[in-house]
Amino acid sequence: MDSIRIVGGVPLSGTIHISGAKNAALPLMTCGLLTDERLVLSNVAKLADLATMADLLAQHGLAVEPEGRTLSIGGRITNTEAPYDIVRKMRASFLVLGPLLARCREARVSLPGGCEIGTRPVDLHLNGLESMGAVMKLEAGYINATAPTGLHGANIVFPFVSVGATENLLMAATLADGVTTLKNAAREPEISDLVRCLTAMGAKIKGIGTDTLVIEGVKTLHGANHAILPDRIETGTYACAAAITGGNLLLENARAEDLGAVLASLQEAGVVVTPEGNGFRVARANGLHGVDVMTEPFPGFPTDMQAQFMALMAVAEGASMVTETIFENRFMHVPELNRMGARINAHGSSAIIRGVPKLSGAPVMATDLRASVSLVLAGLAAQGETTISRVYHLDRGYEAVEQKLAACGARIERVA
């Protein structure tokens, strides 16, 4: 298993080009199931999770052809089963359920099971599809879903915001018979990107960017070309890298409007954000001071930025409080950061951080995708050497992380 070795203390300076969003690419790839025609996605990042999704679609019978940063997906579905050994590796695999039901009126998809950050049930996905006429049976850890007379429109109100459930039902509704309304739908930029792609494929969807999506089912969808939006979490992560090292980075191909809450908190902590070119520049003015954040569905502070912001707060002046409202166990980075000299006290869904002048390098272990990158941020700022093990977590969501950081002066290398 690879590790990443960092010798901290270098203020980063230079330019980082932001890649296409992982959490948009995953549902966008499953759109390939909604038509036999060719769907061409561009600005596709090179990420382990996207390779896993490509394997999943290939075993459904689709031809998935990567060409640089373009991915073309076409062909007919020949298998409607999504096997446990793929779904357990990546929860987003569950997003094939809606499209398979909409096209083939049947699907056998393994339940994703939990992961490091929580149990992560899929009841909202299943209840919504049932209200659209699907019959669900749980057998041996698999959902056996059928829709003998096809899916029909329904009025669905989500009891709480779910990105995945919104995506699964949105895709299923595009080919259902009649009109589907999704109320309390997720409003993440990745959902809007999915709506744009589905519309280009011929879907009839109203309410993009709002919490109410109205989808009028059509008979078939056709192929399309779609450019994936920049990854706002990668953007926010490198903004924190500039802030935590006292550096100055230009984030290219980055959309500040997708990161409003994060940039507001960074500015409140003393970070300067200036629009520049097709992105923005992030630099630290003087000192950093503690700022409280609470994670919320978009447009609130994203849970996927919680660990990174906590690493930054670990070296801010004064205290800050971070409250995680989306997942029940997303503080795995806390003990690792504390081993580097941070003073963080997690209690239930909140953590109190008392800033320290300096962190010190240490051997630490990655546990989940965003926790692992928060350790990279801490290592970049720490005095001395940090070695992060189990970096396969990192490779799921960050393309060429050591290359992008090394190009800005970081002393970082991958150790086999």
What is the binding site for ligand EPZ (CB under 6 A)? 23, 26, 91-92, 118, 120-125, 162-165, 303-304, 326-327, 369-370, 397
> Least separation, in Å, of the C-beta of 302 and ligand EPZ?
6
Question: What are residue 52's phi and psi, to 5 degrees?
Answer: -65, -45
Cβ nearer to ligand EPZ, comparing 10 with 198: 198
Q: What is the DSSP letter of 16?
A: E
> Least separation, in Å, of the C-beta of 114 and ligand EPZ?
9
Is 240 part of the annotated catalytic residue set? no
Cβ nearer to ligand EPZ, comparing 124 with 312: 124
C-alpha 81/C-alpha 107 separation (Å) is 6
C-alpha 170/C-alpha 173 separation (Å) is 5
How many CB atoms sit inside 10 A of residue 2's CB? 13
> Least separation, in Å, of the C-beta of 163 and ligand EPZ?
4
Q: Are 42 and 228 in contact (CB under 8 A)?
A: yes
Cβ nearer to ligand EPZ, comparing 51 with 406: 51
Cβ nearer to ligand EPZ, comparing 312 with 362: 312
318: left (phi over 0), alpha (psi -120 to 50) or beta: left
> Least separation, in Å, of the C-beta of 78 and ligand EPZ?
25
Give me the residue label for tokens 């669900």.
136
Annotated catalytic residue, options 31, 104, 115, 240: 115
Cβ nearer to ligand EPZ, comparing 362 with 373: 373
Q: Which residue is nearest to ligand EPZ (CB)?
A: 164
Nearest to 120 by CA among 402, 330, 389: 330
Question: What are residue 76's phi and psi, to 5 degrees?
Answer: -100, 150
> Least separation, in Å, of the C-beta of 95 and ligand EPZ?
8
> Least separation, in Å, of the C-beta of 370 and ligand EPZ?
5
Cβ nearer to ligand EPZ, comparing 165 with 412: 165
User: Please, what's the b/e burial string for 95-133 (b: 16 or more CB within 10 A of its CB; e: otherwise)?
Assistant: bbbbbbbbbebbbbbbbbeebebeebebebbbebbebbb
Nearest to 160 by CA among 132, 180, 186: 186
How many CB atoms sit inside 10 A of residue 377's CB? 30
Compute the half-sphere exposure of residue 56: CA atoms within 13 Å on the CB side of its CA. 34
Annotated catalytic residues are 115
